[in-house]
Amino acid sequence: MLICPVCKKELVKEERKYVCTSNHNFDIAKQGYCNLFLKSSQQSGDNKEMVDARNLFLKKGYYEPLAKKLVEVMKKYSHHKVVDAGCGEGYYTNYIQRELGNEFCGFDLSKDAIKIAARNNKENRYFINSIFELPIADHSVDIILNIFAPFAQEEFHRILQQNGIVIKVDPNIKHLIQLKEELYETSYDNEILDLESNCLSLIDYEVIEFDMQLPHEDIRNLLKMTPYYYKSKKDSIERLCALDSLICNASFIIYIYKVK
Ligand SMILES: C[S@@+](CC[C@H](N)C(=O)[O-])C[C@H]1O[C@@H](n2cnc3c(N)ncnc32)[C@H](O)[C@@H]1O
Ligand SMILES: [Zn+2]
């Protein structure tokens, strides 16, 4: 299902590189990932600080109920060829791969994130690339996972096979409400994005919600995974991060789309 980003011919994995029939070569880094992005100088995805915080937080298992739910959802559909579009450090990709057994392809713009993803799982294949220009053949994918990442709907439509689905996860209205109540005098609800699409149809959705008991040392990492860390006042951030503990609600919506 992989194609060369230059000439669009089939791309095949060799020992230490990917090669197409026109002989375009892409080296596999020692961590096991490959850079297929031709415009690396223009976009770079999440930076090291965000990636490290998310990695530290997720590997403690706080969002495991969501990962488990995604496995359950995926079992209902054909899941031979799976792409994680905006996979970050591969927390969900690697978790689901271990449960379901088949090989996934993860794509992200962030080199720091992809390095971690590839280091933690040698079964999956990880690539630096934009999800708006995926090096994947037309109509070749069963499931696209799109978790807290941009919704590249036209590109998803192009690569999905006829019965393929997109599983998109977004924060629900009250996600992390207690964290925001600590930060702001008047806290506001998350906006639910209007994800109506002219090429994909929403066929189902599910809400998953649970409380997390966060000790002091994990509060800052959670905050750094959110935009609030970058747009809140410094003293509000420090007040929140000084708390001994925080009970915080996690609430997600899982959307299922099929090709229109
Ligand atoms: C909030 S993170 C979510 C990561 C992962 N799905 C998770 O939930 O742990 C969003 C990710 O999307 C990536 N990203 C943003 N724009 C992208 C693009 N155009 N192509 C590929 N990845 C992109 C960022 O680098 C970041 O890793
Ligand atoms: Zn080529």
The answer to whether the beta carbons of residues 236 and 183 sit under 8 Å apart is yes
Say yes or no to pLDDT of 195 above 80: no
Residue to substitute in 108, 112, 145 for testing ligand 1 pocket (most ligand atoms within 8 angstroms of CB): 108
Say yes or no to pLDDT of 197 above 90: no
Query: Ligand 2 center to residue 47 CA distance, Å?
Result: 29
Ligand 1 site residues, Cβ closer than 6 angstroms? 45-46, 54, 86-88, 91, 107-110, 113, 130-132, 147-150
Average pLDDT across the chain, whole number? 95
142-149 average pLDDT score = 98
Nearest to 125 by CA among 4, 13, 5: 13
Pairing of strands 25-27, 17-20: antiparallel
Predicted confidence at residue 190, as pLDDT, reads 80
Query: Ligand 2 center to residue 32 CA distance, Å?
Result: 20
Q: Where are the beta strands (DSSP E) in the chain?
A: 11-13, 17-20, 25-27, 34-35, 82-85, 104-108, 125-128, 141-147, 160-171, 200-215, 245-259
Half-sphere exposure of 191 (CA within 13 A, CB side): 3
Residue to substitute in 48, 54, 56, 110 for testing ligand 1 pocket (most ligand atoms within 8 angstroms of CB): 110
Predicted confidence at residue 145, as pLDDT, reads 98
Domains of the chain listed by start with CATH number: 44-259 (3.40.50.150)
Predicted confidence at residue 186, as pLDDT, reads 80
Predicted confidence at residue 169, as pLDDT, reads 97
Closest C-alpha to ligand 1, atom 4: 88
Nearest to 34 by CA among 101, 86, 107: 107
79-86 average pLDDT score = 96
Say yes or no to pLDDT of 198 above 90: no
Percent of the chain surpassing pLDDT 70: 100
Closest C-alpha to ligand 1, atom 13: 86
CA 212 to chain centre: 21
In the β-sheet with 125-128, what is the strand arrangement from edge to edge? Answer: 34-35, 125-128, 104-108, 82-85, 141-147, 160-171, 245-259, 200-215
Distance CA 248, CA 218 (A): 12
Nearest to 142 by CA among 198, 75, 202, 203: 75
Query: Which residues have CB less than 5 Å away from ligand 2 (the ion)?
Result: 4, 6-7, 20, 22, 24
The answer to whether the beta carbons of residues 78 and 100 sit under 8 Å apart is no
Nearest to 165 by CA among 138, 143, 146, 132: 143
Q: What is the pLDDT of residues 37-82, one digit of tens each?
A: 998 777 789 999 999 999 999 999 999 999 999 999 999 999 999 9
How far, CA to CA in Å, does 106 sit from each of 70, 121, 142? 16, 11, 14
Predicted confidence at residue 39, as pLDDT, reads 86
At residue 156 the predicted structure's pLDDT band, cuts being 50, 70 and 90, is very high
The answer to whether the beta carbons of residues 166 and 257 sit under 8 Å apart is yes
